[in-house]
Structure 1
Amino acid sequence: MNTLNEQQTRLILGFQKNEITEHHIYKNLAKRIEGVKNRRIFAQISDDELRHYNIWKKYTQQDVAPSKFKIWFYSLISLLFGFTFAVKLMEGGEKAAQHAYEKMSDLGDEISNVIKDEEEHEQALLTLLDEERLQYTGSIVLGLNDALVELTGALAGLTFALQDTSLVALTGLITGFAAALSMASSEYLSTKAEPGAKNPVKASIYTGVAYILAVAVLIIPYFVLSNIYLSLAFAFAGALLIVALFNFYVSVAKGVPFRSRFLEMAGLIVVVSGISFLAGLAMRFFFGIEV
């Protein structure tokens, strides 16, 4: 076995810490998630991580404790956003570590096999994960996109037509709630008419809840702020933030491009809001509405 210099020892101790930490993360997930298939996948990856840890340990002859913070953090993320998002976010952050592993490939074939596992085997296993909530991404997109585009445009028009934060907030709230029920009903009927893996009731709930959450983010500034135009600006910023966060989630969990999806949804919001903005101003001028 090759003798390690000080820099190599420090690197390998870092590898050990990563491996033993991920071993515990995957082991915890395997205990908590539903589905025999998913539990088997996580248990297999957990075993692989422990095997990698022991391979590195042969070179350092030292035990390394896992990162309790990382175990807690990714466990929390998996509870809030789903296990697929958590593990893909974690694996995405390991790319730099994989490059560092390659520096040690000259230590022997066993290390080359570890590198191969990190680059290929785990990713192949992760593609086999089956999480229910990801089946309803389309329903969430429908709710969010419709709420953000429709209500942001409506708020822009109402802002110029009514010129009163309370009136705009109340009108937007009523409109948004009614639209959420309408969208949820439409999603239920649409899903039911197309037999597949999705449950119509769950699809409608995902759509309705996504719509209502978007409505809440857009309406809150009008309840909190007294300046009508500042309220509109914050509502618009909130819409873009929701689009960014949701598309980041989808890009990580499903491995799709972030930028193109974000620009598409953000572009729709900007165009519709701009048109509604001008329409509200025109209606106020032509109809002589004063509130």
Structure 2
Amino acid sequence: MEKQGKAISEETKQFILKLQQNEVTDRAIYLNLAKRVKKQSEKETLQRIAEEEGVHCEIWEKYTNKKLTPQKLKVWLYAAISFILGYTFAIKIMEKGEKDVQYIYSNLAQEVPEAEQILKDEEIHEQALIDLLDEERLQYVGSMVLGLNDALVELTGTLAGLSFALQDNRLVALSGLITGISATLSMASSEYLSARSEGNTNALKPSLYTGIMYIFAVVLLVLPYLVLPSDQFVPALMIMLVIVVAIIFSFTYYISVAKDLPFKKRFLEMAVISLSVAALSFGVGILVKQFLGIDV
């Protein structure tokens, strides 16, 4: 295939090969995501963007004289991410990756005239994607945050207090599960009634999201007390606190990417609250055991 424009340096060619590979893979990812979305308008937008990525591939191919194939592992990875965390999160992660290579386009403009137009296309992609995204699960972020925050604060405090008061992992796990399951049903029903009172005809969905996030946190936080020996309540408590921080980090990162919200401030705020409640509850457990003379 004949090259267009003036000759390019070997270094520029390597840059173009990298961009070409990205475009080929991104095209495959967009087409794959288009098959999964339900709204026809979003499906058509993703297909249109995939077509434009294909046009970019043809431009780069004229400079590299190579025909590349999609990176199957990357395509599979984004398919898995979209299935588990939603296509909004997957697309936002992709767009963050494209921002990282935009400076390359600017540097290529002198040798490759088409680079400037491709950069403009990429910026249009980003805005178009932001405009089209309306994933159902993100409409219930408030319910998810409510369920997770309440579970982390309440259950972290309960388990921390019981850890020293009972000093038996099986008893702590039993108490935690009873408390957690009861609280899950209470929170879900409260969210349902709240949504109904606000005139929401589909009040079941926010209540389900609240309940699912709550029980998810309950299972993970109680797990160390079920796995470790009965007398290892301090290691179980430490692992539980690590799990709390990991959950807060993961969920906050997910929301910050999917909803374009600041990450650091939200993460620190939630972590400080949960760990502070755990510390205070642990102190209450010590006081209860010491001054009330309760010995299990």
TM over 0.5: yes
| Partner SS for 1:106 | coil
Deviation string for 1:68-88 (max 9, x for gaps)?
111111111111111011111
In structure 1, give the amino acid aligned to 2:263. Answer: F
In structure 1, give the amino acid aligned to 2:72. Answer: K
Matching residue of 2:110? 106
Deviation string for 1:17-45 (max 9, x for gaps)?
11011111101111221111210221121
Distance 2:191 2:252 in 1: 21
Matching residue of 2:55? 51
- Decide which of 47, 64, 70 is 1:66's aligned counterpart: 70
Matching residue of 1:148? 152
Deviation string for 1:231-264 (max 9, x for gaps)?
1111111111111011111111111111111111
Question: Displacement, 1:108?
Answer: 5.2
- Decide which of 197, 204, 209 is 2:207's aligned counterpart: 204
Matching residue of 1:3? 7
Alignment of 1:181-196 (within 5 A): 181-195=185-199
Distance 1:287 1:44 in 2: 70
Q: How many residues align?
A: 289
Computed over aligned residues only, the root mean square deviation of the Cα atoms, in angstroms, reads 1.3
| Partner SS for 1:64 | coil
Matching residue of 2:176? 172
- Decide which of 235, 244, 262 is 1:239's aligned counterpart: 244
Question: Displacement, 1:58?
Answer: 2.4
Distance 1:199 1:104 in 2: 52
1:77 and 2:81 are equivalent in the alignment = yes
In structure 2, give the amino acid aligned to 1:78. Answer: S
Normalising by structure 1, we get a TM-score of 0.96
Contact 2:160–2:237 (8 Å) recurs in 1: yes
| Partner SS for 1:103 | helix
Matching residue of 1:215? 218
Distance 1:42 1:206 in 2: 27
Matching residue of 2:274? 269
Q: 1:155 to 1:96 in 2, by over 3 A?
A: same
Matching residue of 1:251? 256
| Partner SS for 2:6 | coil
Distance 1:201 1:144 in 2: 17
Distance 2:212 2:158 in 1: 20
Distance 1:272 1:159 in 2: 14
Matching residue of 1:280? 285
Deviation string for 1:47-97 (max 9, x for gaps)?
111111112222223212221111111111111111011111122122222
In structure 2, give the amino acid aligned to 1:48. Answer: E
Alignment of 1:25-40 (within 5 A): 25-40=29-44
Question: Displacement, 1:273?
Answer: 0.9
Distance 1:149 1:162 in 2: 20
Distance 2:179 2:89 in 1: 33
Distance 1:68 1:278 in 2: 53
Distance 1:32 1:166 in 2: 44
In structure 1, give the amino acid aligned to 2:237. Answer: L
Question: Displacement, 1:109?
Answer: 4.5
**What's the % identity of the aligned pairs?**
48
In structure 2, give the amino acid aligned to 1:289. Answer: I
Matching residue of 2:21? 17
| Partner SS for 1:136 | helix
In structure 2, give the amino acid aligned to 1:58. Answer: K
User: Which ranges in structure 1 are unaligned for 5 or more consecutive residues?
Assistant: none
Off by >3 Å, runs of 4+ in structure 1 = none
Matching residue of 1:225? 228
Deviation string for 1:183-207 (max 9, x for gaps)?
00111111222246x8310111111
| Partner SS for 2:110 | helix
Contact 2:8–2:111 (8 Å) recurs in 1: no
Normalising by structure 2, we get a TM-score of 0.94
Distance 1:76 1:49 in 2: 21
